[in-house]
Amino acid sequence: MAEYENPSSSQPTSNSEQPAQNPDSNNKSDIVQKIQELGQTNVAEMENTNIHSITIVGQIEGHMQLPPQNKTTKYEHIIPQLVAAEQNPKIEGLLLTLNTVGGDVEAGLAMAEMIASMSKPTVALVLGGGHSIGVPMAVAADYSLIAETATMTIHPIRLTGLVIGVPQTFEYLDKMQERVIKFVTRHSNIEEEKFKDLMFAKGNLTRDIGTNVIGTDAVEFGLIEEVGGIGRALQKLNSLIEEQKQQNGEMLQ
């Protein structure tokens, strides 16, 4: 029995007969991917800027993974970025923008300590809110700004979930709270007693103790250096970069 042979399959297809790939379609697919992953159509390449920007948004996630519907900032994502920014010779400054409700205390303090220990100039800008453990992260930078309508919530350390009701648990909470107080007062101009007064104030927050500090008040208390936005933040960061260059030049001489 003879087999049917398709004449078209036996003849090789020339290069001219193959459909040409449309470069526009590749560009469109790249743009769509960027929109899906980053929410923007164009990302500044590393070699085009001497400033690295890191955003702290949503809830700061610690050792426990939060539900998928929560917008979170994971410390295992931020810490490698800080290390890379410190090591990259093309990066001369770090801009930190915050709009966070707070979250895990140890994770927030870990990131704050890394920001504070960087050798390159750092500027923090609080937009919307820099609440709870976001306060130490905001003051960890060399210079901090806050938007006029932004707020910062200062309250005592709290635990959620199962708590073992023994004196050691409350002692641990007290020591952790003291770590936060010492860090904030060491990296800002606010006095320790004033910060404690804001932390333990009654009647300012519903069903809680603490204080909600708005932009100008944060500057007045010495928590933040200046009220400003993105333009002023970049201007200050560039000036700090220039100052460091001049200092390094004088040291070389």
The answer to whether 241 and 50 have CB atoms below 8 angstroms apart is: yes
Residue 77 maps to a domain? yes
52, 155, 187, 188: which one is catalytic? 155
Our answer to whether residue 8 is catalytic in this structure is no
What's the CA gap between 152 and 205, in Å, rounded?
A: 12
How many domains is the chain partitioned into structurally? 1
Non-local CB neighbours of 69 within 8 Å, separated by 6+ positions: none
pLDDT for the residue 157: 78
Q: Structural domain of residue 112, as residue ranges?
A: 49-252
Residues in the chain, total: 253
Our answer to whether residue 132 is catalytic in this structure is yes
Residue 156 maps to a domain? yes
pLDDT for the residue 64: 78
In a 3-state reduction of DSSP, which class is residue 130?
strand
Nearest to residue 112, comparing CAs of 242, 104, 18? 104
Residue 12 maps to a domain? no
Token pair listed for 171: 């002692």
Residue 95 maps to a domain? yes
pLDDT for the residue 140: 95
Return the half-sphere exposure (C-beta side, CA atoms, 13 A cut-off) of residue 20. Answer: 4
131, 132, 187, 188: which one is catalytic? 132
CATH number of the domain encompassing residue 132: 3.90.226.10
Residue 134 maps to a domain? yes
pLDDT for the residue 187: 94
Residue 164 maps to a domain? yes
CB environment 143-161: b (16+ within 10 A), e (fewer): bbbbbeebbbbbbebeeee
pLDDT for the residue 162: 65
pLDDT for the residue 39: 54
Residue 23 maps to a domain? no
Regions of the chain where pLDDT drops below 50: 1-16, 46
What's the CA gap between 77 and 73, in Å, rounded?
A: 8
Secondary structure letter of residue 104 according to DSSP: -
Residue 18 maps to a domain? no
pLDDT in tens, 114-149: 999 999 999 999 999 999 999 999 999 999 999 999
